[in-house]
Amino acid sequence: MADIFKSQKDSKLKYMFRKISSLLFVVFLFGALNVLAQTDSSKKSCADASCHGNLVANEVVHDAIKRGCEKCHQSNGQEHPSKGEKNFTLTKQVPQLCYSCHDENNTMSHVHPPVAKGACLECHTPHSSPESNLLKKYPTAQVCYQCHKLESAQKKYKHAPVEKGDCAKCHDPHQSEINKFLIKEPPALCLKCHDKQNEQMSMAHVHPPFQNNCLNCHNQHSSNEPKLLDMTSPNLCLYCHEDMQKKIEKATTVHGALTDTRSCLNCHSPHASPQNKFLLAEPKELCLSCHNKSISVGTRKLANIEQTLKKSKSVHGAIEKNGCTGCHDPHASSNPSLLLKAMPTGSYAPANKENFGLCFTCHKSEIIEKQTTSSITNFRNGEKNLHFVHVNGDKGRSCKICHNPHGSPNDHLINDTAPFGSWEMPLKYKVLENGGSCAPGCHTERKYERVIAK
Ligand code: HEC
Ligand code: HEC
Ligand code: HEC
Ligand code: HEC
Ligand code: HEC
Ligand code: HEC
Ligand code: HEC
Ligand code: HEC
Ligand code: HEC
Ligand code: HEC
Ligand code: HEC
Ligand code: HEC
Ligand code: HEC
């Protein structure tokens, strides 16, 4: 309780102090002006409370007034006050009157029409005002709204300085060398308040429209979309990235990461990033930030890839070298599992290199084409190519029956089990000197031993 009283008392004291100091100023004026400006017969000061005291009663009094009313007003010699008659004229017409003390503010390439017309008093009051800059209304926006009906500032989400009515934080009310009387050209205009974006400007990878002009995506005053955006993602992005739009339209599968509300912003910064392509994180980490759990898609349950990799004895060299995008398209694809090239969805497919096109973007297709070899694959018995044996004819076994494309707890990416009908058949793969063995449910333990080329 005591605290509340204290703070109330504090602000009351401050209030009293302000009142007293403005009162003192009026008293000071009263004295000064008595000497300076006694054209009236009653010998009262012009700023006397019973006369024009109200003109100087506001918090901020025009400094010009300290120099006397007659700096601006001159008597026409008539008795003052005299009812219904004007006894004073201005020493000069506005704006020349103002320019006799202030620099001319109509000299630049873009002059605001009311300033060009010399209509200072459309916005200013000559005597005193409750806040600085001697405006007729506060906040500043109220002055502007006298003439501008600004639809672009009336939408759902308002930019903080617009909400506060601080139009002059961005516009010079008088003149500018820049279009729309801006104080600076965007993006510099925006960066003077937005430090974080200022730092982003010097990152290794900067999105060209960000560098060019913030207004490519944001509205300066207000918007019906959050973050003052013209549109939400993905439309915002696809508006310029037409190729991506076409790709998505053509594809049979669009990545789930693109279809939620954040869409492109799940992976890309719209501004800049230390990563190539403005990615939000190192590419592999980015993928694993979502694929660190099993994800349900309709009746399918997608594997937890991070867990697969953690449990692996060896991770596929493709992932170690190129992350995930050596095989997957991060956006959309007409191949299953967003793959860049063809791969059979089931366990079997006719044995030709097109059907396994994905693997053969990096590996040699001879491993399924040559019946005998002493070099092209280690999966051979003597010189008999066992890849050729297994991936053969119309019902060639798919690579993924034996290999996990991501990683496995065994050597050579060999799976623990292979699907056989509805049965997950254990492979029990072992590495032997110059070969290996497996003891799957479909045949007894078999070994292969390479003949080493001399
Ligand atoms: C910086 C110049 C300036 C000074 C100094 C100044 N005035 Fe004014 N005054 C004006 C202008 C400009 C007008 C508006 C004239 C018009 O609207 O045509 C005005 C108008 C007036 C009016 C007409 C009523 C009104 O509210 O607009 C009165 C009364 C007046 N001034 C009194 C004073 C008194 C008293 C002082 C000294 C305490 C004073 N002025 C000092 C510039 C000044
Ligand atoms: C006799 C000289 C004189 C005349 C005439 C004069 N001013 Fe001023 N004005 C000053 C001085 C001195 C200041 C305070 C220093 C400064 O800000 O430049 C000032 C300050 C101002 C300010 C800023 C107030 C603030 O809160 O910072 C505005 C706005 C202004 N004048 C407008 C006008 C307008 C409009 C006219 C014409 C109607 C005018 N002045 C005529 C001397 C004058
Ligand atoms: C369209 C409205 C408008 C008109 C017309 C206008 N002003 Fe201003 N003026 C402002 C606003 C708003 C500010 C405060 C700017 C800020 O907050 O930085 C200001 C500030 C000022 C200042 C103080 C700051 C500075 O720029 O030095 C002076 C002096 C001034 N005006 C003089 C004039 C004179 C003289 C005229 C007429 C030739 C005039 N103004 C016409 C709106 C106007
Ligand atoms: C006395 C009337 C009046 C006041 C008050 C006024 N303006 Fe203006 N302003 C105009 C006129 C007239 C134009 C030129 C016609 C137009 O483009 O709307 C203009 C043009 C502009 C433009 C350029 C518009 C364009 O599309 O090129 C901007 C920006 C602007 N004003 C900002 C302001 C701001 C900020 C304020 C308040 C500090 C303000 N105006 C107060 C009359 C006014
Ligand atoms: C954050 C900076 C900023 C603030 C604050 C701001 N503006 Fe603007 N305003 C701009 C920019 C930038 C443009 C130019 C847009 C363009 O080039 O298309 C503009 C354009 C305008 C225009 C002309 C086009 C239009 O959008 O209608 C007017 C009039 C205008 N502003 C008035 C105002 C008024 C009035 C306020 C205060 C309520 C205000 N502005 C506050 C940055 C700002
Ligand atoms: C006078 C300072 C100032 C200027 C100049 C300025 N802003 Fe802001 N802006 C702010 C403040 C304050 C906020 C609210 C706090 C925050 O989110 O940082 C804000 C918020 C924003 C937001 C986020 C809105 C939200 O809903 O979170 C965007 C986007 C933005 N500004 C863009 C711009 C652009 C574009 C420009 C240049 C045309 C600009 N700003 C110029 C002060 C400014
Ligand atoms: C290519 C479009 C684009 C451009 C150009 C752009 N922005 Fe953004 N900006 C966005 C998007 C999209 C968001 C929302 C990001 C989010 O939600 O993660 C955003 C968010 C913001 C925010 C809110 C900050 C936050 O972290 O939430 C600010 C402030 C901002 N932008 C300022 C700027 C400034 C300043 C510029 C110019 C230097 C600029 N923007 C240029 C698209 C853009
Ligand atoms: C105003 C147009 C515009 C908008 C809006 C836009 N971009 Fe861009 N973007 C460009 C331009 C121009 C380039 C550089 C040329 C290019 O590589 O296509 C670019 C480049 C890129 C690149 C790098 C392309 C490459 O091959 O290196 C990515 C990634 C990107 N933008 C993502 C986005 C995302 C995400 C969004 C939405 C938040 C977006 N862009 C919105 C114009 C835009
Ligand atoms: C799941 C994360 C992710 C999402 C969501 C995402 N991207 Fe990408 N994007 C990437 C990655 C990773 C790359 C880099 C691919 C590479 O290096 O081969 C990339 C590259 C790009 C490129 C460069 C050209 C290309 O095709 O490689 C553009 C343009 C682009 N993205 C735009 C977008 C747009 C627009 C959206 C939203 C519709 C979006 N991205 C959504 C991860 C994503
Ligand atoms: C923001 C979360 C998120 C990020 C980041 C993400 N994904 Fe996904 N991903 C999903 C979701 C949700 C699904 C399941 C929905 C769908 O695609 O049908 C999915 C599905 C997939 C699928 C299976 C598609 C299918 O239909 O079988 C692959 C492959 C995939 N993502 C790869 C990647 C790669 C590669 C990256 C990194 C470039 C990545 N994801 C980043 C959320 C994400
Ligand atoms: C060497 C190529 C290759 C690389 C590199 C690769 N993948 Fe895959 N990925 C595949 C293949 C092939 C499939 C389809 C497996 C299947 O049909 O069972 C697949 C399937 C997926 C699926 C769907 C799993 C499911 O249960 O249907 C996800 C999610 C996925 N990958 C994510 C990733 C992520 C994340 C990375 C990077 C850490 C990555 N992939 C790297 C080839 C690759
Ligand atoms: C983006 C290139 C790329 C693609 C596509 C690719 N791989 Fe690989 N693969 C590698 C790299 C790199 C290695 C590491 C050894 C090397 O340098 O040859 C490797 C190694 C392997 C190994 C040997 C592992 C070991 O420990 O001996 C197997 C098995 C393998 N890949 C199977 C596949 C299968 C099956 C596919 C198709 C689903 C495939 N790869 C697609 C790049 C790729
Ligand atoms: C019947 C199981 C099986 C099938 C099906 C299979 N592989 Fe293999 N693969 C192996 C074994 C076992 C090894 C390990 C050989 C060794 O080093 O002893 C191997 C090794 C590899 C290697 C390492 C280099 C080499 O050839 O020794 C690559 C690459 C490879 N396989 C790719 C593939 C591709 C691509 C497919 C599908 C077109 C495929 N494999 C199908 C069992 C299989």
**Band of pLDDT at residue 440, cut at 50, 70 and 90:** confident
Q: Mutation test of ligand 8: which of 241, 267, 278 has the most ligand atoms closer than 8 Å to its C-beta?
A: 241
> Considering only CA atoms, which residue is closest to atom 14 of ligand 5?
180
pLDDT digits (tens, 9 = 90+) for 93-134: 999 999 999 999 999 999 999 999 999 999 999 999 999 999
> Considering only CA atoms, which residue is closest to atom 40 of ligand 9?
264
* Environment class of 410 (CB within 10 Å of its CB; exposed 0-12, middle 13-18, buried 19+): buried
Whole-number Å distance between alpha carbons of 370 and 363: 14
**pLDDT recorded at residue 81:** 84
pLDDT digits (tens, 9 = 90+) for 215-236: 999 999 999 999 999 999 999 9
CA dihedral sign, ordered 59, 60, 63, 64: negative
Tokens of 140: 């500043």
**Band of pLDDT at residue 43, cut at 50, 70 and 90:** low
- Of ligand 3's atoms, which has the minimum distance to the CA of residue 140? 12
Is the pLDDT at 366 greater than 60, yes or no?
yes
| Residue given tokens 């390479």 in the structure block | 450
Average pLDDT score, the chain: 90
> Considering only CA atoms, which residue is closest to atom 31 of ligand 12?
316
For residues 60-78, average pLDDT: 93
Distance 365 CA to ligand 11 centre (A): 20
Q: Is the CB of 218 under 6 A from ligand 7?
A: yes
Give 395's contacts (C-beta < 8 A, 6+ positions apart). 348, 350
Is the pLDDT at 35 greater than 80, yes or no?
no
Q: Is the CB of 144 under 6 A from ligand 4?
A: yes
**Band of pLDDT at residue 451, cut at 50, 70 and 90:** confident
Q: Mutation test of ligand 4: which of 120, 147, 164 has the most ligand atoms closer than 8 Å to its C-beta?
A: 147
Is the pLDDT at 316 greater than 50, yes or no?
yes
| Integer angstrom CA distances of residue 429 from 75, 276, 396, 425, 433 | 112, 40, 20, 12, 13
